Amino acid sequence: MKKRIVILGAGESGVGTALLAKQKGYDVFVSDGGKIAEHYKNELALHEIDFEEAQHTQSYILNADEVMKSPGIPEKNDLVKKIREKGIPVISEIEFAYRYKGNSKIIAITGSNGKTTTTSLIYHMCKLADVDCALVGNIGYSFAKQVAEDPKPLYIAEISSFQLDDIITFRPDVAILTNITEDHLDRYEYKIQNYIDSKFRITKNQQPGDVFIYNLDDEITITNINNYPIKSTLYPITMSKQPPQGAYLTNAQMHMKWKTEEMQMNISDFALKGKHNQYNSMAASLAATAVDIRKEKIREALQTFESLEHRMEPVVTIKGVEFINDSKATNVNSTWFALESMDKPTILILGGVDKGNDYSLIKDLVKEKVKAIVCMGIDNRKIHEAFGDVVSLIVNTSTATEAVQSAFHFANKGDVVLLSPACASFDLFKNYEDRGTQFKQAVKAL
């Protein structure tokens, strides 16, 4: 008898899992409550995989031996509750892909902020060193699909807390936890401890030969690290101490200590600027060292890395007003980092779907640096309540074009218009990429 796997959600991770499961001889059924994108439907049909869209037929789902749940589906979903009640094991895509990775190594990166930059930087280091590797996970390409279609000796995986929630055996050789701030609390019963537990799951199956890189300056990480039975070897990154192993900054120099090796580099040579990126650079350098990338290649990668689209991405300067696209800032902490790096008067575009945001975290920075706030969301009450007493100019807009025109109207030569929304984008846009793209189009239309 073939083992039956049901996949909930036919996005990148769902379809990737379906392809790998089919290849490995499972009886596969894909069910999506919404419409499935045309290219994914074609892919499923091509591989003769049964699927349904815009519905969930329970009789087809509750007879599964195992269910792979896409990261976007919350636990409180009624169907998920029924699956749990029946005792059917629920796994995530990374768990399924892990079963078939063979002897490949995995570097896995999680955290509230800096994941994408750190992941991309490690990939850049590995590519410069001619390592045959793949960039997978949250950053675009399905891990399971990569394993099915083009397996590699090394996977560099950006991983969300939702994907970690449903792991059983997943074990990265190198795990990075960039930091933990209040995010996605709507998915964790508004209890930060649930979210913290989820992030630390990245270390759950690690063994003494594995590596765990963490931020010694991150208060939540350090307060909680001793609550988990972590077996892997710990390598901290810090700007406040000089640990015997790990990476630290002192006098504008990055020092990296790995077993008997040492490396130093002036941070003015880093392509990525800003304090948060110095943490990302330290974490990436340690991870690359852990998979035997040579120091010269790490140094070269830190000097040549190009910043990412939608993450503090300079768009254009018009009449002396600089426009920056930081649409990837989907939580308050990301916006804090963006504002922290601003050295000119700023018009801030904020808003979207609030995930239980605490705006008090950025209030001081807003007071110090922001001259006007342009809200871009359906419900902007919380923003007005949070900043009404420190910013005199706050306006509501409902499209990217309106937001850009309002911001430009408030700006003078030498100012910056910063899109750094601190919210999810699903009220007005398909996703943060769509929001960033529409912002850039609106800016160029000026």
- In the predicted model, what is the mean pLDDT of residues 114-131? 94
* pLDDT tens digits along 42-97: 999 999 999 999 999 999 999 999 999 988 888 889 999 999 999 999 999 999 99
Residue in the block written with tokens 């999810």: 424
Domain ranges for the chain, please list them: 4-91, 95-304, 313-444
Statement: 95-304 belongs to CATH 3.40.1190.10: yes
* pLDDT tens digits along 186-233: 888 888 999 999 999 999 999 999 999 999 999 999 999 999 999 999
Residue in the block written with tokens 């939580």: 331
Instruction: Identify the CA nearest to 49 among candidates 36, 33, 65, 58.
Output: 36
pLDDT score of 104 more than 80: yes
Q: What is the DSSP letter of 392?
A: S
Question: Residue 111 and residue 116: Cα distance in Å, rounded?
Answer: 10
Instruction: Tell me which of 306-315, 318-327, 355-364 is least confident.
Output: 306-315
* Between residues 171 and 183, the one the model is more confident about: 171
Q: Provide the 3-class DSSP secondary structure of residue 246.
A: strand
Statement: 4-91 belongs to CATH 3.40.50.1450: no
| Whole-angstrom Cα Rg for the chain | 22
User: For residue 340, is it left (φ>0), alpha (ψ between -120 and 50) or beta?
Assistant: alpha
pLDDT score of 24 more than 90: yes
DSSP assignment of 270-284 equals -SS-SHHHHHHHHHH
Question: Residue 418 and residue 439: Cα distance in Å, rounded?
Answer: 10
pLDDT score of 139 more than 90: no
Q: How confident is the model at residue 357 (pLDDT cuts 50, 70, 90)?
A: confident
Question: Residue 307 and residue 274: Cα distance in Å, rounded?
Answer: 12
Question: Residue 12 and residue 138: Cα distance in Å, rounded?
Answer: 9
Instruction: Tell me which of 218-227, 245-254, 325-334, 385-394 is least confident.
Output: 325-334
CA dist list (Å): 1 to 27, 89, 227, 413:
9, 18, 42, 71
Q: How confident is the model at residue 185 (pLDDT cuts 50, 70, 90)?
A: confident
Main-chain dihedrals φ then ψ at residue 159, nearest 5 degrees? -130, 130
Task: Note the pLDDT of residue 186.
Answer: 80
Q: How confident is the model at residue 275 (pLDDT cuts 50, 70, 90)?
A: confident
Q: What burial class does residue 374 get, using C-beta atoms within 10 Å of its C-beta: 0-12 exposed, 13-18 middle, 19+ buried?
A: buried
Number of other CB atoms surrounding residue 24 within 10 Å: 15
Sheet of 105-110, strand order? 133-137, 154-158, 105-110, 174-177, 211-215, 233-238, 246-250, 253-258, 261-266
- In the predicted model, what is the mean pLDDT of residues 110-116? 90
pLDDT score of 359 more than 80: yes
Q: What is the residue-averaged pLDDT of the chain?
A: 94
DSSP assignment of 283-348 equals HHHHHHHHTT--HHHHHHHHHHPPPPTTSSEEEEEETTEEEEE-TT--SHHHHHHHHHT--S-EEE
Task: Note the pLDDT of residue 394.
Answer: 97
Task: Note the pLDDT of residue 140.
Answer: 64
pLDDT score of 299 more than 90: yes
CA 288 to chain centre: 19
Q: How confident is the model at residue 310 (pLDDT cuts 50, 70, 90)?
A: confident
Question: Residue 284 and residue 302: Cα distance in Å, rounded?
Answer: 9
- In the predicted model, what is the mean pLDDT of residues 370-395? 95
- In the predicted model, what is the mean pLDDT of residues 282-303? 97
What's the first-to-final CA gap in the chain, in angstroms? 63
Task: Note the pLDDT of residue 120.
Answer: 93
- In the predicted model, what is the mean pLDDT of residues 372-400? 95
Number of other CB atoms surrounding residue 190 within 10 Å: 12
Question: Residue 422 and residue 360: Cα distance in Å, rounded?
Answer: 12
pLDDT score of 309 more than 80: no
Q: Provide the 3-class DSSP secondary structure of residue 378.
A: coil
* Neighbouring residues of 385: CB distance < 8 A, sequence distance ≥ 6: none
pLDDT score of 340 more than 90: no
Q: Which fold has domain 313-444?
A: Protein-Tyrosine Phosphatase; Chain A (3.90.190)
Task: Note the pLDDT of residue 229.
Answer: 96
Task: Note the pLDDT of residue 194.
Answer: 93
pLDDT score of 149 more than 80: yes
Q: How confident is the model at residue 171 (pLDDT cuts 50, 70, 90)?
A: very high
CA dist list (Å): 59 to 83, 186, 313:
11, 30, 48
Question: Residue 66 and residue 68: Cα distance in Å, rounded?
Answer: 7
Range list of H helices, 204-274 = 219-224
Strands 154-158 and 90-91: unpaired
Task: Note the pLDDT of residue 401.
Answer: 97
* Token pair recorded at residue 42: 């074609």
* pLDDT tens digits along 240-263: 999 999 999 999 999 999 999 899
Residue in the block written with tokens 């189009």: 441
pLDDT score of 419 more than 80: yes
Task: Note the pLDDT of residue 32.
Answer: 95
CA 233 to chain centre: 24
